[in-house]
Amino acid sequence: MADNSYWEKVFEVTSSIPKGRVSTYGAIAEYLSLGSARMVGWALNHVHSNGNVPAHRVVNRVGELSGRLMFATPTLMEERLISEGIKIENHKVQDFNKVFWHPGNDQFDTSKSKDYIDVQSILELDRVAQEILKRVGQNNILLFEGGLGAGKTTTIKAICKALNVTDNPSSPTFALINEYKTIENDIVYHMDLYRLNSIDEALDIGIEDYLYSDKMVLIEWSEIIQPLLENAAVIHIERQSNGSRRITVQLVQFPVGQ
């Protein structure tokens, strides 16, 4: 866990974000040259509801309100941003580049250090799935991020095919968790946690048994259970204006004691 001096620096930078602008966890981490985007998020988790630090003005690198579930109500972050003139649609800041603020340089581009996979057609998904599995290495927990319609479930289906799943994967809309078997008689878990409201609900369904099963676990809408994780691969899918997709694969070590 970061010490208090680090948290205070995060709070100071966050408090400097102008009204009507937003910054990102990564931009703050880069400016401080200390810690990571995850550590910035962890620090802000402790002030989301007190109103003294404008944590609602910090979003993820593509403008999504990824911290919204940590506020007193799931809609409070959005309500505060809208009241300050920020346009929100599907939990994502609109005109993100225009309202983005970096503490050291307004022209900061968070995409420069990222390793992307561009997908022009659904016909490329078999190749893309193999590439994703290659990049995640030994990580068995894959977190799929992206707005509604980004293609998370479609990408998961392609990954299941690459894992030799014999079932026909589908979104676990009602059961929250689907269990698939592979040709090798191994198990792959597919979770859609959009309807979960708290970590307690996740614990009630025994989610830790799945997370620590050493089986492949593919998770959509994972934000609410991330405090239970230690390591994971984050697969972020962003829909481009021309209909193509851009996929980022990032290996993440979550803060100890979060």
Query: Which structural domain, as residue segments, surrounds residue 73?
Result: 4-99
Q: Tell me whether residue 109 is in a domain.
A: no
Task: Write the Ramachandran bin of 230: left for phi over 0, alpha for psi from -120 to 50, otherwise beta.
Answer: alpha
* 85 & 122 share domain: no
Q: pTM here?
A: 0.56
Query: Which range has the worst mean pLDDT, 7-11, 66-70, 142-146, 176-180?
Result: 7-11
Into how many domains does the chain fold? 2
* 244 & 180 share domain: yes
pLDDT in tens, 51-77: 678 999 999 989 999 989 888 899 999
**What is the percentage of the chain residues whose pLDDT exceeds 70?**
88
Q: What is the CATH number of the domain that holds 139?
A: 3.40.50.300
Q: What is the CATH number of the domain that holds 76?
A: 1.10.10.10
State how far the Cα of 95 lies from the Cα of 86, in Å rounded to an integer: 9
